[in-house]
Amino acid sequence: MIVLGIESSCDECAAGLVVDGKTILSNVVYSQLKEHAPFYGVVPEIASRRHIESISDVVSRALQEADHDLSSVDGIAVTCRPGLIGSLLVGLSFAKGLALALDRPYVGVDHILAHLYAPHLETDIEYPYLGLLVSGGHTMIARVKAYDRIEILGTTIDDACGEAFDKVAKFYDLGYPGGVAIDKLAQKGDPEAFSFPRPSLHKGDHRFDVSYSGLKTAVIHQLEQFHNPELPATRENIAAAFQQTAIDILVDRVLRASRDTGLRRIVAGGGVAANSYLRSHLAEEKGLEVIFPSLSLCTDNAVMIAGLGYQLLAAGKRSSFDLNAQARVPGFRRTYP
C-alpha cells in the first residue's frame, strides 16, 4: 500500500510517499527556517501563510521524486495534532480535499506518535521499549507498547528541551535554530567553564520528569555565579556547558526510567535527538540498546506520518471529513493518546 504523508504542524511543510509503512519512496521537506530566523522562533501566522502557499508544490514534488502520480496513492495520512492550529489546518484541509477528489481513505495522525515511529522506517524494532521524544515542543519519556499505545512516564514540568536550546541561543545571539547552533559551537567549547545547576526532581510523580527553567535562568541571568574563573566565558564555552547540562538532565532520567522499568531498549526521536552529545553519550551507556533515527528523520518530516498512517489504515482505521485539528492533546500527562 502506498501512503502519501502530509505534515504541516509547525514550520516544516512536508510530504512523502512510503510503501507498507517501511520503504521511503520520497521525502520532501520545505523548511521555513529563513522566514522565522529574524524572530528567533516560529511565528504562527507566518507559518500558516507559508504552508498554504507551498503545500501544493511540496506534494507535487513528493510525487515526482517517487516517480508516481496521484493515481498510485492508496491512502493519505496527515498530521492532525498537536501543533500550531493554523498550520495544522492547512495540511488537514489539503489532505481531506485530496481524499475526496481521489476517493481514497485518509487518516489523521498524531505527531508525537509519528516521531516515535520514525526510527521504525529504518530499523526493525520490537515493542516494548523506552521512547525518548525530545523536540522544540515536547520532552517525553514513555513506555512504548505499540505504534498507537504509549504510557507516559515523564515529561518536562516547564520548558521543552529544544525550547531551552532555542531560548539560550536567542539570548546570546548564537544562531537559529538554537539547537543546531549550540551543538556546533559546543564542539569548540569547554563544558568545564561553567557548573550550571541541575533540577532535583526525584520524588513520586516527578521521578522521571525534567525541568529546564532553572538551567535557562542560570545561563541567561546568573552566568557569573556559575562561572569557573580559570576558563574564559566565551560563546563556545557557554554553549558547551549549557548543552552538557541540558542533555545530562535528560539522560539521567532516561537511565532511571530504564532501571525502574527494566526496559533496556531505548528509541529516541524529535529534533533534539539530532544532538551529537546526546547521541554519543547514550550510545556509551553499557547494557542498553540505543536506537537513533538518522538526522533527517529526527526533525519534522512527512514520511514518519505516512509510516504510522499506513499502520492505522492497514488496521482499518479511517478518519471522517469532520475531523478537526487539535493544538494540544488533553490528558497528555500519563495516558496517551
Query: Closest by alpha carbon to 169, among 34, 33, 37, 30?
Result: 37
**Residue linked to cell 569547554:** 190
Given phi > 0 = left and psi -120 to 50 = alpha, else beta, which region is 67?
left
Q: Is 26 in the site for Zn ion (CB under 5 A)?
A: no
Segment interacting with Zn ion (CB under 5 A) among 21-29, 133-141, 212-220, 283-291: 133-141
State in angstroms the smallest separation of the CB of 9 from ligand KG4: 7
Q: Is 135 in the site for Zn ion (CB under 5 A)?
A: yes
Please name every residue paired with 17 in a beta bridge, in sequence order, or none if there are none: 4, 26
**Residue linked to cell 529544544:** 162
Residue span 255-274 as binding mask against ligand KG4, x where in contact by CB under 6 A, dash where not: ---------------xxx-x
Judge if the upstream peptide bond of residue 337 is cis by omega within 30 degrees of 0: yes
Distance between CA atoms of 68 and 23, rounded to whole angstroms?
14
162 binds, among Zn ion, ligand KG4, none (CB under 5 to 8 A by kind): ligand KG4
Residue span 154-173 as binding mask against ligand KG4, x where in contact by CB under 6 A, dash where not: --------x--xx-------
Contact (Cβ atoms closer than 8 angstroms) between residue 192 and residue 228: yes
291 binds, among Zn ion, ligand KG4, none (CB under 5 to 8 A by kind): none
State in angstroms the smallest separation of the CB of 83 from Zn ion: 8
Please name every residue paired with 146 in a beta bridge, in sequence order, or none if there are none: 149
Phi, psi (5° rounding) for residue 241? -70, -40
Distance between CA atoms of 321 and 54, rounded to whole angstroms?
23
Q: Choose which of 75, 86, 105, 177 interacts with ligand KG4 (CB under 6 A).
A: 177
Residue span 298-317 as binding mask against Zn ion, x where in contact by CB under 5 A, dash where not: --x-----------------
Chain contacts with Zn ion (rule: CB under 5 A) = 135, 300
Binding residues vs ligand KG4 (CB under 6 A): 10, 135-137, 162, 165-166, 177-180, 183, 270-272, 274-275, 299-300
